[in-house]
Each structure stands twice: as C-alpha cells, then as structure tokens.
Amino acid sequence: MAQKRMITMQTKTLFHIPKMAVHSRGYNHTVGDISHYDSLDMSQYIIHAETCEELAYVFNKYPEELAHQHIANAFLKIGGYNYDRGDEFFEVILPRVKEQLKVYDRHCIRSVFKIIKGAAGMRLQDNEFWELVEEKLIDDRLFRYLTLDETCSLVDLLGLVQRGSDELIELCEKYIIKHRKSLIPKNIREAAKGFKKLNKGSAVLFEVLQDPTRGLKQINE
C-alpha cells in the first residue's frame, strides 16, 4: 500500500499541471491555468515563428492564456526582425497588445519595455499605442521601475519614432543626470543619440553626457 501511494505521489509530481497566476488587473504570469505542454507550446511557437501570420496563430489559439512575457516577446520579435505587418498584425496582434498594455503594472515593467522596444523597431506610428505608453510610464508611474540602462535606451527608442511628451523626456533627463556616475559608454551613446534626434535636452544634460564624472557645480560654473 505504501509503495502504491509513493508511486501515485511520484506520478502526480511528474505530471503536475501548473496553475496560471491571473493577476486581478487582468494579465497572466508565466505559470498558470494551462498545461505545462501548452505553455511550452506557446513559447516554442513564438521562438520559431517567422511571420506575423504565424505569431497571430498563437494569439488566436491562446486568446486568454498568453502571459505578458509571451506577448512582449512576440511584439519585440516583430520589431527586431522587421516582419511584414499585414492584416494579422493590425487585426489580431496590435489590438491584443494595446488591450493588455492597459492593465500592466510594475510587475510587468520588463514586458512594457520590450513592447516599447518592439514598437520602435518597427517604427510604429499608432497614436493610441503611444498614448498608452505615456499613461503607463507617467500616470501609472511605471517609469520609476526602469533601470538606468533601460532609461537611456528608452530615449534612443523614442527618438527613432519621434515620440515622447516633454514630461516623459524631462523625467528621462533628470534620471540620467541624477545617476550620471553610473553611466557606461553604451548608455551615453544611446542617450545622446536619442536626445539629439528629438531635439531635446538641456545644456547641463549634454555636459553630463560629455563627462559624467564631473559634478554639477563644476558644470554650472
């Protein structure tokens, strides 16, 4: 009897089906209410997809189950590989991304950044999308959870699409100046390029980017 119970327990462990953690805001975490095999299925589809049509197939097959990481990785892939964007993108993928972006919170900040990066990569010009980005970063205060590296990249990405309100750009500038001692060459290149493309940024900012080791008192003298 004990041996039979042990075998049963081992079987349950081997074939345990994780539960999807559905956040009260309406987005999914990676472990959850679908079988382990379906979770692998979604990830593999996204990894191997070579067109928007193939990615849209995943969005249609799993309309409720996709986690925020799946959605972000798919969107980033479209921008990174510059996939042709036809009806599947505008009727299936983009509406789902915007729908989910509305409910993302600080726990999804890496996914939010990937989505922005994907949008900039594909040079997306969708006013509703960029208004949602502003709402998330400013109104919902998710900007606070971006790293210095992501903030410098964000300026560069916004420069690619000529987006970003004065308020958002000012937040980026203040953050970069405050953490200037931690800037690495990559950060400086991205930030400088982005601010120049946007034709924004103060004289103090560009002095900081030129020599982050200097103190603000020295710069203002």
Question: Each residue of 94-115: pLDDT tens digit?
Answer: 999 999 999 999 999 999 999 9
Last residue of a domain, one of 99, 125, 145: 145
- Are residues 84 and 157 part of one domain? no
The domain in which residue 81 lies consists of 15-145
Confidence of residue 53 (pLDDT cuts 50, 70, 90): very high
- Are residues 154 and 85 part of one domain? no
Last residue of a domain, one of 81, 112, 145: 145
Structural domain count, the chain: 2
Task: Please report the pLDDT score of residue 105 as a whole number.
Answer: 96
pLDDT higher than 80, residue 57: yes
Looking at per-residue pLDDT, the higher value among 62 and 92 belongs to 92
| Average confidence (pLDDT) over 60-77 | 93
Q: Can you state the percent helix, strand and coil of the chain, rounding each to 5?
A: 70, 5, 25
- Are residues 214 and 187 part of one domain? yes
Last residue of a domain, one of 128, 145, 162: 145
- Are residues 162 and 111 part of one domain? no
- Are residues 102 and 31 part of one domain? yes
Task: Please report the pLDDT score of residue 184 as a whole number.
Answer: 98
CA distance 77 to 93: 12
The 3 state secondary structure assigned to 142-210 is HHHHCCHHHHHHHHHHHHHHCCCCHHHHHHHHHHHHHCHHHCCHHHHHHHHHHHHHHCCCCHHHHHHHH
Q: What is the pTM for the complete model shown? A: 0.84
Which two tokens mark 104?
Answer: 């993302």
